[in-house]
Amino acid sequence: MSTELCKLKKSLKGDLPSYVLLVNQPRFVCTNCGRVANKKKNLCSPKRIKDL
Ligand SMILES: [Zn+2]
């Protein structure tokens, strides 16, 4: 399974608690699809929020 949240739409509803753990303290935003995540590896086009 991909670790990129951008591609996890199908599994999101079935495992929301696990998803929340990846996004509850977001430091990166995906410049491609607008999602946020704690770790850049979870986004397909990550950008540090701090740098924006
Ligand atoms: Zn993305």
- Ligand 1 midpoint to CA 25 (Å): 17
What is the pLDDT, as a whole number, of residue 24?
Answer: 95
What is the pLDDT, as a whole number, of residue 13?
Answer: 77
- Ligand 1 midpoint to CA 42 (Å): 8
Span 1-52, pLDDT tens digits: 567 888 877 667 788 898 899 999 999 999 999 999 999 999 999 999 986 6
- Ligand 1 midpoint to CA 46 (Å): 7
* Burial profile 15-27: b = 16 or more Cβ within 10 angstroms, e = fewer: eeeebeebeeeee
Ligand 1 ion: nearby residues, β-carbon < 5 Å: 6, 30, 32-33, 43-44
Task: Record the pTM.
Answer: 0.78
What is the pLDDT, as a whole number, of residue 2?
Answer: 62
Question: Domain segments of the chain: what residues?
Answer: 5-51
What is the pLDDT, as a whole number, of residue 52?
Answer: 62
